[in-house]
DNA sequence: CTGAAAGCGCTTACAG
DNA sequence: CTGAAAGCGCTTACAG
């Protein structure tokens, strides 16, 4: 910067005290031991020079960093801004600031984010972007934890208690949404899943299949895979669904509302009436789903709350507060709106 | 963290060299002067110990920080995630990482963000959140610049060349949008503006009035103020608009698409048909506006591009590249979609 | 009530 | 080709 920042020494010089004293005054520590006049002189000097403590120097002296890392896939899917909002607001309340990283679900970018965050010596990391759940990726997580930086996953997660995480019971939610579709009388359902099978997708799929098993094969179904970031295959998928010999009566877009809304949009453009020609259900609970026409039937997750609680949990881990539950499951609800209807009667 | 991080000294010890040599090897500097065997030993040791350089120590030695600050109002309005995406992607390309701050358009939070960012010694700051354009706030900006940290405003801006900024020509865009409404035959228009009159809002209002002046008072109009973060007054505003003695034929939501979409939503809920009963135009160009029914006629800004260019400009300022233009105006377009129609013939 | 000094983890002239 | 040493801006026992 060419420009030299004002240092504590500058302040001390102007106030005619030692840096030690200046430091004590400015940090409000050992108040008793500093005379009022001295304190005032230091404060004045700092004010006059617009002194700003160098956080990096403080960190070097072993102070804990007040920044935490946040790793998300991108801001394209409106799920993430809302999640981020919950995280940053809570971080703010707790006195942390955020270092933000986008990975685009690319493992090498995720690796880079972890690297940078470790070099920064952040106090903790929240991850909403698990690229592919590979062994290699899991090792990344363990490395970070081993280095002493606590990690919390939100939305996506690893199976079991491996990494603390906050989410909803995705399998159960998916089961309930599917049950609803079955009760509505659907006889052939297309399920849309994310091509990269995160544990999350595995669970949603299992929830779906749980419900299907209960229906005793009265309902036919087929899985379609899409790439949620590039939207590749989406048009092809829609075509296949529409042109199936035995007609699909419903589309369960288990990979999320963002794609569900896109599907509704494309369907409408193609002159297909929803829910009359075909029903569409989503998963997420984006506010977008309420605004769109027809409004979207979906699993409503407390997205903001997921972020908020993830940050709360991370903070507890940072300050080593004892934690009874490392896996937090928040409540959700099934919202039946205009994009689905009962086919019976 | 209790846990001690691996230091350069640990690496040097294991490799049986001095920290100086270890540093040279790990930074790839003075390659010629290091023997291949020594280099390898250092690299091995670093690998074995999972050594991670402490960025904060580096900063202390006068190295430039690779983080830049980003200050936005919130993620609620979808304008900001898209803007953020442009900024972070460009920052990534240029090797910077992001410290994210939400202000909720609260000046004290903005002040806190600036403070923290200065203490962090970031290399630069992008601001998309100008709370109230007061003298006090402007002073904040000047303080940061004076401390040697370059600032770039994006979307919102101060009048004149005071702070480098990237945006579109908002006055002109607003003028054109209004012109379109006039050509469509509107005789009474409600303009919705943000209660906090940023320069941006002032310009949009002026653009609107420019067009009105040209229409030679054939068109009546009225301004309504809303608080875009809390949505307060929105219902009241809509009521007033709907119950006006001489009917409004159009609503020009100059404060943005996010509110425009909300208005459309509320109108539809109330059984009002758009554009048949009343037309609605927005300003921003959110993709949301295309998905909604009726799709929104609006000023389409290159939102992602604004962010991308803001980061590009900031980077130039950071590396002190000579810059011909400190005020960048990107192209926009007027999209006429379903929420407006011609009233003539 | 106050200050001298060590040390946090690095980088970088400088000397050899 | 390599190392000893100073110093970046702080904090904090320790001594007075």
Rounded Cα–Cα distance for residues A78 and A259 (Å) = 11
Q: How far apart are CA B39 and CA A149, in angstroms?
A: 29
Check if the beta carbon of residue B272 is closer than 8 Å to that of residue B336: no
Q: Give pLDDT tens digits for B199-244.
A: 899 999 999 999 999 987 789 999 999 887 667 778 888 888 888 8
Number of Cβ within a 10 Å radius of residue B343: 15
pLDDT tens-digit profile of B284-340?
999 999 988 899 999 999 999 999 999 999 999 999 998 888 999 999 999 999 999
CB-based contact, A302 to chain B, within 8 Å: no
Report the C-alpha gap between A96 and A69 in whole angstroms.
10
Task: Assess contact for B286 and B258: CB atoms under 8 A.
Answer: yes
| C-beta of residue B122 within 8 angstroms of C-beta of residue B98 | no
Q: Which residues contact B326 (CB under 8 A, 6 or more apart)?
A: B161, B164, B165, B313
Alpha carbon distance B299, B257 (integer Å):
9
Dihedral of alpha carbons A93, A99, A103, A107, sign:
negative
Instruction: Provide the pLDDT for residue A204.
Output: 96
Cβ contacts below 8 Å, chain A against chain B, sum to 146
CB B118 within 8 Å of CB B151: no
pLDDT at B37 over 90: no
pTM of the model: 0.94
CB-CB contact of A99 with B97 (8 Å):
yes
Closest residue, chain A, to B63 (C-alpha): A1
* DSSP 8-state secondary structure symbol assigned to residue B323: -
Number of neighbours of residue B269 by Cβ within 10 angstroms: 8
- pLDDT (tens digit, 9 = 90+) per residue, A250-293? 999 999 999 999 999 999 989 999 999 999 999 999 999 998 88
DSSP letter assigned to residue A278: -
Encode pLDDT of A68-115 as tens digits. 999 999 999 999 999 999 999 999 999 999 999 999 999 999 999 999
- B293 in A contact zone (CB under 8 Å): yes
Tokens describing residue A65:
């960093």
Which residues in A lie closer than 8 A to residue B55 (C-beta atoms)?
A: 56, 119-121
For residue A32, the model assigns a pLDDT of 58
Q: What is the mean pLDDT of chain B?
A: 91
Q: What is the DSSP string of B284-309?
A: B--THHHHSSSPPBEEE--HHHHHHH
Could you give phi then psi for residue A247, rounded to 5 degrees? Answer: -60, 135
Q: Is B27 on the interface with A (CB under 8 A)?
A: no
Query: Does the beta carbon of A120 lie under 8 angstroms from any beta carbon of chain B?
Result: yes
Taking an 8 Å cut-off on Cβ atoms, the answer to whether B99 and A97 are in contact is yes
Cis omega before residue B294 (within 30°)? yes
Chain centroid offset of residue B74 CA: 10
Q: Which DSSP category does B189 fall into?
A: E
B61 CA from D6 C1′ (Å): 12
CB contact under 8 A, B99 and A67: yes
């Amino acid at each position: 910067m060419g420009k030299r920042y004002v240092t504590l020494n500058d302040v001390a010089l102007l106030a005619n005290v030692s840096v030690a004293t200046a430091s004590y005054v400015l940090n409000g520590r050992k108040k008793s031991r500093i005379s009022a006049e001295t304190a005032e002189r230091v404060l004045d000097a700092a004010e006059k020079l617009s002194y700003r403590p160098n956080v990096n120097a403080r960190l070097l002296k072993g102070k804990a960093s007040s920044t935490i890392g946040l790793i998300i896939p991108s801001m394209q899917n409106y799920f993430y801004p809302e999640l981020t909002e919950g995280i940053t607001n809570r971080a703010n309340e707790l006195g942390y600031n955020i270092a933000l990283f986008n990975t685009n679900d690319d493992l090498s970018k995720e690796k880079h984010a972890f690297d940078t965050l470790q070099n920064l010596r952040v106090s903790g990391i929240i991850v909403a972007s698990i690229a592919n759940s590979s062994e290699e990726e899991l090792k990344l997580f363990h490395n970070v934890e081993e280095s002493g930086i606590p990690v919390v996953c939100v939305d996506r997660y690893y199976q079991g208690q491996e990494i603390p995480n906050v989410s909803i019971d995705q399998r159960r939610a998916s089961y309930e949404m599917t049950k609803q579709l079955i009760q509505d009388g659907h006889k052939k359902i297309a399920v849309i899943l994310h091509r990269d099978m995160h544990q999350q997708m595995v669970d949603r799929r299992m929830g779906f299949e749980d419900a299907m098993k209960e229906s005793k094969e009265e309902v036919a179904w087929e899985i379609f895979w899409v790439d949620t970031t590039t939207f590749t295959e989406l048009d092809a998928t829609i075509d296949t669904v529409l042109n199936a010999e035995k007609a699909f009566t419903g589309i369960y877009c288990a990979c999320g509302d963002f794609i569900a809304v896109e599907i509704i949009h494309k369907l409408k453009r193609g002159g297909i009436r929803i829910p009359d020609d075909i029903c569409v259900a989503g998963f997420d609970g984006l506010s977008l789903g309420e605004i769109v026409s027809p409004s979207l039937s979906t699993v409503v997750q407390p997205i903001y709350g997921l972020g908020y609680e993830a940050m709360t949990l991370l903070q507890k881990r940072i300050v080593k507060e004892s934690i009874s539950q490392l896996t937090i499951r928040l409540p959700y609800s099934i919202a039946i709106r205009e994009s689905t209807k009962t086919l019976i009667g």
